[in-house]
Amino acid sequence: MTLARLSLTDFRNHAGADIAAAPGLVALHGDNGAGKTNILEAISLLAPGRGLRRAPLADMVRDGARGGFAIFAEVQAGAGLPPVALGTGIEPAHPGRRIVRINGAAAAAASLGEWLAVLWLTPAMDRLFVETAGNRRRFLDRLVLALDPRHAQHGNRYEAALRARGKLLADAGPADPAWLTSLEAQLADHGAAIDAARQRTLAALAAELTVQPDAPVARPLLTLVDGEGAAREAPHQPEALRALFASRRRIDAAAGRATAGPHRDDLSAVHAATGRAAARCSTGEQKAMLLSLILAHSDCVARLRGARPVLLLDEVAAHLDPSRRAALYERLAGQGGQAWLTGTEAALFADMPGPVTRFRIAGGRIAAS
């Protein structure tokens, strides 16, 4: 999967930008605050979800702009397929509603995943292994989504049923048992589908990680654990989930939330070479494991979907020594597809193997370099 063209209108600090890129490596360099990460964020919004910053839509509109914002891309979704036009943005009259268009026709945001898979690694993710379970769950679900675009629909419907059940349990007076049973059946069906997709993704990643080269990364061992931190011994089955939710109505009503289920599961990681939990590893080891996951997952997507995802690597090169940086570039260039990298200095990308599309970003302006 590659972006042949990317156009931005009033997005972040870019009043208007038009970028033509070739397959291979795309290097963006410029000072801090120039707008490099904003370009990556725009690309991330061409996939389902809230983008790499998870920012409110209204915050993405350029300061001083009177309208909304627009992002457009011409995407080559796979070999032998015609290019597809993807667009997203907001209108001034509805600043909280995201608009999505595919080949000019209105579409749901979840449909974007059928045409484009995007994976990213940013400095803000460096503490993933020591942050909340919710952040790790979102990270895992993004990996799942790149392999299975239907995952977004199951996730949205599960969350909607979860909110409706929570509201019903919180309302004064006895809840309608039939309505609760119906909602819990929805939770069970979508929850089991979510869990199955997560398990398939972790199995595919485990297989890929065993054959990955060590340089320039560190190999993690991944496990899905429950809300108490215990390794999951069996997949969530619809029947068992229905019984679980039914048995915990009183507990969940008192807690004001659903206290068990797939939305409470967590991703556990261990450094394969040392056996240490990722949360206890050094910052450098944690970054290396994250990079390993992204690269292995890119290979999974390429193998299972027949097209490699677009990679967004924000300031990754600055954290690697020259030999590991060269190993990363060789690997990215050799695997095909398209990878967008940012850095403050052009020298970080001087030794990249081709083909490389290079841009200098300064004050929201983009120039080939």
253 plus 300 within the same structural domain: yes
Mean pLDDT in consecutive groups of 10 residues from the start of the chain, 369 residues = 93 93 93 93 93 92 90 84 92 88 93 90 90 93 90 93 94 83 96 95 91 72 89 89 95 93 94 92 87 90 89 88 87 89 92 90 87
Q: Is the peptide bond before 92 cis (omega within 30 degrees of 0)?
A: no
User: What is the token pair recorded at 192?
Assistant: 């089991």
68 plus 8 within the same structural domain: yes
User: How many CB atoms are located within 10 Å of the residue 302 CB?
Assistant: 18
Looking at this protein, which amino acid is placed at residue 336? G
Q: pLDDT tens digit string along 115-147? A: 898 999 999 888 899 999 999 999 999 999 888
Distance CA 336, CA 45 (A): 22
Distance CA 226, CA 261 (A): 8
77 plus 188 within the same structural domain: no
Structure confidence at residue 151 (pLDDT): 92
277 plus 201 within the same structural domain: yes
Give the chain's domain count.
Answer: 2
82 plus 65 within the same structural domain: yes
336 plus 195 within the same structural domain: no
148 plus 249 within the same structural domain: yes
Q: What is the CATH number of the domain that holds 367?
A: 3.40.50.300
Nearest alpha carbon to residue 86 among 56, 45, 52: 45
Which among 256, 285, 306 is the end of a domain? 306
102 plus 145 within the same structural domain: no
Nearest alpha carbon to residue 221 among 266, 278, 262: 278
135 plus 90 within the same structural domain: no
282 plus 336 within the same structural domain: no
Q: Which domain holds residue 171?
A: 125-306
Structure confidence at residue 324 (pLDDT): 83
Which among 306, 341, 358 is the end of a domain? 306
294 plus 354 within the same structural domain: no
Structure confidence at residue 213 (pLDDT): 64
162 plus 277 within the same structural domain: yes
Structure confidence at residue 52 (pLDDT): 93
Q: What is the CATH number of the domain that holds 227?
A: 1.20.1050.90
